Amino acid sequence: MPPCDTSSCQSAREIFHELEEYYDDHNIYFQTVGSVLEAADALDIPHRLKLIITQPKNEIMVHCPVEMDDGTWQLFKGYRVQHNNVLGPYKGGIRYHPEVKLDEVKTLALLMTMKCALARLPFGGAKGALRIDPRSVSKQELMRVTRRLTAALGDNIGPDYDIPAPDVGTNSQIMAWMADTYINFAETSRKVTARGIVTGKPLAFGGSAGREKATGQGLVYVLDALLPGMGIELSKVSCSLIGYGNVGSWTARLLQARGTTLKAVMDHTGAILNENGIDAEALAQHVQATGGVHNFADATAVNTETFYATPVDLFIPAALEQMVDLEHAKHMQCKVLVEGANAPTTPRAERYLLEKGVEVLPAILCNAGGVTVSYFEWKQNRQSETWDEAKVDAQLKTIMTRSAERVLEMAERLDSSMRTASYAAAIEHIDQVYEMRGVFP
């Protein structure tokens, strides 16, 4: 493939050259930095901020030896990348995945900085990862490796410093083990607030009502705010989904409750299609019982190409990064690409889709519901309060709607794509705070 010659690649190449770092425009981290710099250039953001956001503040790597159930030992590699904390403590999930790489974690940490800034949450951005296949180990092994990871991270995380949460491959049980481990290490006087070390905990142990469905719920609120302006009615549309984990399955169920037809779903076990609609609730139960969408009774198994080519109004990737590349984009027949996952669309695919007239709603807007309810959980933990779901949903709706409006306004101001506008609205806020605080010393 020829080297990328767009303005975003050009800016990124120049900055990395100045930092005497290598640059590779096929790498997801450089691509993401490039897109953020494109937004910064559209706003005349000072050069110092462009330098700052190009690299994370801290990249922590740990190795966790863990005894397996059969008496053998394995060494698991863990990462925590803390990208920026000018707006508040570092915040972001921890994922468990067998193929996770440092550049992926750096990308996701940068996106957390942008996401929290766009939603005006008092948090910076971070992301963690453990190289493990959580499906291949027992519950006891999962607990031991989680506790060991938490201990290895030590004071690099904390309720006032860096607050992890669930992500791909992690859940509320893993958060409970992390919190319990951290509380055991905490000084007596800090044990009450120590549970704020992670968000996405189980409801009975300091979690928040509405946290589990929060990312899907937030995505639906964004659609409520934006689709009418595109002349699209949520109750009349069809959609397809990549991924049926937390984000995918909640999005599907909440959209179904609004009258949307779910036509096709693809995950790591295969792809399924039913032109008349897949029952999102029944599919959630099937995935819970079997581990994937494969063999779901009320749909036909299809190949990947057919899945991408199925005509739908909304195409929603809700799994891993880069699931929509240029080849896939050429097959796709949708009106709106709604990014439920982080960084699911490659820049080349996005350019192709935008030229074809497809609207692309960016991840830092669409999936900010998760971290927003994490913020509510963290607040409740600090104040020893318990909010009901109605209060959580109402406040989530306000933040998601305002964020969507912010992106629309910026897109009009810059005459730009929604992605550039979302990064611009985020980085303008970060810039204002740096202007006020100054850069130490």
CB of 112 to ligand GLU, least distance (A): 6
Considering only 370, 393, 406, 431, the residue that binds ligand GLU (CB under 6 A) is: 370
Given the rule CB under 6 A, which of 133-141, 368-376, 390-398, 401-409 is the region that contacts ligand GLU? 368-376
The amino acid sitting at 287 is V
Kindly state whether residue 91 participates in binding ligand GLU, applying the rule CB under 6 A. yes
Whether omega before 166 lies within 30 degrees of 0, making that bond cis, reads: no
Q: Is 96 or 296 the residue whose CB approaches ligand GLU more closely? A: 96
Q: Are 242 and 248 in contact (CB under 8 A)?
A: yes
From residue 319 to residue 358, what is the string marking binding to ligand GLU with x (rule CB under 6 A)?
A: -----------------------x----------------
Q: Is 310 in the site for ligand GLU (CB under 6 A)?
A: no
Min dist CB 167 to ligand GLU, Å, is: 4
Residues classed as catalytic: 127
Which residue lies nearest ligand GLU, judged by its C-beta? 93
Are 122 and 87 in contact by the 8 Å Cβ rule? The answer is yes
Binding piece for ligand GLU, criterion CB under 6 A, among 29-37, 91-99, 252-260, 399-407: 91-99
Using the rule CB under 6 A, give the single segment among 87-95, 180-188, 220-228, 266-274 that binds ligand GLU: 87-95
Q: Which of 31, 238, 367, 422 binds ligand GLU (CB under 6 A)?
A: 367
374 binds ligand GLU (CB under 6 A): yes
Q: Which is nearer to ligand GLU, 208 or 274 (CB)?
A: 208
CA distance 315 to 356: 15
Quick note: the x/- pattern for ligand GLU over 163-202, rule CB under 6 A, is --x-x-------------------------------xx--
Task: Print the binding letters for residues 146-165 with ligand GLU: x by CB under 6 A, - otherwise.
Answer: -------------------x
For ligand GLU, give the closer residue by CB, 342 or 417: 342
Q: Looking at beta carbons only, is 344 or 370 nearer to ligand GLU?
A: 370
3-state secondary structure the chain: CCCCCCHHHHHHHHHHHHCCCCCCCCCHHHHHHHHHHHHHHHHCCCHHHHHHHHCCCEEEEEEEEEECCCCCEEEEEEEEEEEECCCCCEECCEEECCCCCHHHHHHHHHHHHHHHHHCCCCCCEEEEEECCCHHHCCHHHHHHHHHHHHHHHHHHCECCCEECCECCCCCHHHHHHHHHHHHHHCCHHHCCHHHHHCCCCCHHHCCCCCCCCHHHHHHHHHHHHHCHHHCCCHHHCEEEEECCCHHHHHHHHHHHHCCCEEEEEEECCEEEECCCCCCHHHHHHHHHHHCCCCCCCCCEEECHHHHHHCCCCEEEECCCCCCECHHHHHHCCCCEEECCCCCCECHHHHHHHHHCCCEEECHHHHCCHHHHHHHHHHHHHHHCCCCCHHHHHHHHHHHHHHHHHHHHHHHHHHCCCHHHHHHHHHHHHHHHHHHHHCCCC
3 by Cβ neighbours in 10 Å (0-12 / 13-18 / 19+) ranks as exposed
Q: Report the nearest approach of ligand GLU to the CB of residue 246 (Å).
A: 9
Q: Which of 93, 128, 134, 218 binds ligand GLU (CB under 6 A)?
A: 93
Under rule CB under 6 A, residue 260 binds ligand GLU? no
CB of 200 to ligand GLU, least distance (A): 6
Q: Which is nearer to ligand GLU, 11 or 345 (CB)?
A: 345
CB of 166 to ligand GLU, least distance (A): 6
Closest distance of CB 396 from ligand GLU, Å: 12
Smallest gap from Cβ 428 to ligand GLU, in A, equals 21
**Closest distance of CB 374 from ligand GLU, Å:** 3
Residue 212 or 267 having the CB closest to ligand GLU = 212
Number of neighbours of residue 15 by Cβ within 10 angstroms: 22
Residues near ligand GLU, by CB under 6 A: 91-93, 165, 167, 199-200, 342, 367, 370-371, 374
